Amino acid sequence: MDIAFLSPKRFLHTVGFAVLVSALVVAVTATLGRAMLNLSGAVSTDQQPDLSLFLLLQKKGEDIRQSTLLRTSETKRDYLVQTQRGPKIVELEKGSQRWYVKFEEALQEDRATTEGSR
């Protein structure tokens, strides 16, 4: 590369273009990140308690394999959730704006049924 033959005008044009592209990449990334946070908050608020269950337990590091709705009311929902660590009972309760996990308890699997299936 012949830096000696690079004119100041060409240098400023190249550097300006690089700064502009870098700023554009940062702005797009920040916008997408913020949109994902808003989507996560919107899903866990009003209408979708079933999706809230997955989002709230994923934040705790749980790998949910299956969920079964056991009981429902206006402000509470009880689930039987199968995770990688075994079954759990999870109770979601609706707060003023969003659903949250009120109660969570790990269950022991019945050894007779699990040993009989081996």
| CA distance readout (Å), 109 to 5, 88, 116 | 76, 10, 12
Q: For residue 35, what pLDDT is reported?
A: 80
Tell me the pLDDT band of 11, cut-offs 50, 70 and 90.
confident
More confident residue, 39 or 101: 101
What lies within 8 Å, CB to CB, of 84 at 6+ separation is 62, 63, 65
More confident residue, 1 or 103: 103
Length of the chain: 118
Question: What residues form DSSP beta bridges with 103?
Answer: 91
Q: For residue 33, what pLDDT is reported?
A: 86
Q: What percent of the chain has pLDDT over 70?
A: 75
List the structure tokens of 104.
């969570």
Q: Evaluate if residue 10 carries a pLDDT over 80.
A: yes
**Rounded Cα distance, 79 and 83, in Å:** 12
**Rounded Cα distance, 103 and 37, in Å:** 24
Which amino acid, residue 8?
P
Q: For the residues 3-17, what does the mean pLDDT come to?
A: 87
**Rounded Cα distance, 39 and 64, in Å:** 20
Task: Report pLDDT digits (tens) over 25-71.
Answer: 999 999 988 887 766 655 555 556 666 667 677 777 777 788 888 88
Q: For residue 40, what pLDDT is reported?
A: 61
List the structure tokens of 91.
């109770």
List the structure tokens of 77.
């929902």
Q: For residue 30, what pLDDT is reported?
A: 93
